[in-house]
Amino acid sequence: MRVGLLVTCLVDLMRPRIGFAALELLEAAGFEVVAPATQTCCGQPGWNSGDRASARALAEKLIGEFESFDYVVAPSGSCSGMVKTHYNDLFPGEGAWLERAERLAARTWELTDFLVNVAKLDKLPSRFTGSVTYHDSCSGLREMGVKQQPRTLLSKLPGVELKEMKDCEVCCGFGGTFSVKFGEVSAAMADAKCAHIAASGAEAVVLGDLGCMLNIEGRLRRRGDGATRVLHIAEVLTYEK
């Protein structure tokens, strides 16, 4: 079975090791993995900003790049959520394009959901040890139904202790363009999230969306916390040291 790896723009530009970790996990599960070299953005920023023309153009491009695969997997609840839950809205009543979008949506998965419910991966290539707390990113939780899946995978690592934080399902304040439009509100939300992370006593906060990672890590460092690690779930599941 062939998996198309939707790397995502932020991963490609800001933390490519997440993409390589996702690739390692999918290959460990026995899949042939291809990351189309021409892929760029899924169109989510345009969609969130009301620019449907640019969102549609990028959606058409992505559909063409990924529709030949058996599955499409992204290490991101927000980008997989864009394809799975919003692409259909870009082609209302448009026949062929709508059908193509629907077919692709049906084969699109967030990484941890795919590893647990499709790949049923039991053996993980990780030596990670330490205490972690998990932040449930909004799109993954609310659009893709990702909640227990990352926790199931973390439970397979004998050296990991999960310490749940208060309000783990509450937004960190990133919200894509929300953090740009409502900076002060976003900062207050990030401060609350950082306080809950600190109160958990965990050595690291783990999550499944790089946008949230960048927002939380930036706020932690500005608050003077240089010790708490901020890691993508794929990084933890493939940790070698």
- How many Å apart are CA 35 and CA 33, to the nearest integer? 7
Tokens of residue 219, six digits: 């706020």
* Vertex 222: Cα angle to 217 and 224 (nearest 5): 100
CATH topology of domain 130-237: Rossmann fold (3.40.50)
| CA dihedral (181, 6, 239, 15) positive or negative | negative
The closest alpha carbon to 202, from 165, 154, 148, 152, belongs to: 165
Each residue's pLDDT expressed in tens, for the chain with a length of 241 residues: 999 999 999 999 999 999 999 999 999 999 999 999 999 999 999 999 999 999 999 999 999 999 999 999 999 999 999 999 999 999 998 899 999 999 999 999 999 999 999 999 999 999 999 999 999 999 999 999 999 999 999 999 999 999 999 999 999 999 888 888 888 999 999 999 999 999 999 999 999 999 999 999 999 999 999 999 999 999 999 999 6
Q: pTM score > 0.85 for this model?
A: yes
**What pLDDT does 183 receive?**
87
| CA dihedral (207, 210, 212, 217) positive or negative | positive
Where in the chain are the domains? 2-117, 130-237
The closest alpha carbon to 203, from 172, 160, 174, 173, belongs to: 160
**What pLDDT does 177 receive?**
80
**What pLDDT does 182 receive?**
87
**What pLDDT does 24 receive?**
97
How far are the Cα atoms of 43, 97, 177, 187 from residue 64, in angstroms, in the given order?
14, 11, 26, 38
**What pLDDT does 40 receive?**
96
